[in-house]
Amino acid sequence: MRPITLISFGYLHLSDGVPPAADRVEDVRDRLRDPAAARDILDLDGMHPRVQDIVLATPGARELLDNLLQYAELPAGPAAIAIGCAGGKHRAAALTEILGRRLRERGHAVQIEHRHAHLPRVLKPAQQR
């Protein structure tokens, strides 16, 4: 099996709006609710087990992970999968970590790159009235 690179990122941190180059880019902004509503995880990132548990409990998260796992194990397998959310701190980073762990359990060599998880939370500017 060839190695696979998993990339987490935040769309709000992209200066040009272009996601990282990957065989598949998964945008979870509208697909999975933002776990930042859980105030106790605001200062944590997706590498933390609490954040991973909250993201995994989000409706649709398990199905998405199963789909990404199946995709990663296709015979011609991808070299890279990128997962993006708003800021790249919670959903994208947690999903990337969980997917990486599952792939390693199945014998894959996995490299994980978190582009924005270390950055402060991104707050959307208030709507103009």
CA distance from start to end of the chain: 54
- The answer to whether the CB of 94 falls within 8 A of the CB of 112 is no
DSSP string for 50-107: HHHHHHHTSTTHHHHHHHHHHHHTSTT--SEEEEEESSSSSHHHHHHHHHHHHHHHTT
pLDDT digits (tens), the chain, 129 positions: 679 999 999 999 999 989 999 999 999 999 998 876 677 787 888 999 999 999 999 999 999 999 999 999 999 889 999 999 999 999 999 999 999 999 999 999 999 999 999 988 776 544 443
pLDDT value at residue 97: 98
pLDDT value at residue 20: 96
pLDDT value at residue 123: 64
Annotated domain spans of the chain: 4-114
- The answer to whether the CB of 94 falls within 8 A of the CB of 19 is no
pLDDT value at residue 34: 80
pLDDT value at residue 11: 95
pLDDT value at residue 36: 67
Residue 81: phi, psi to the nearest 5?
-130, 130
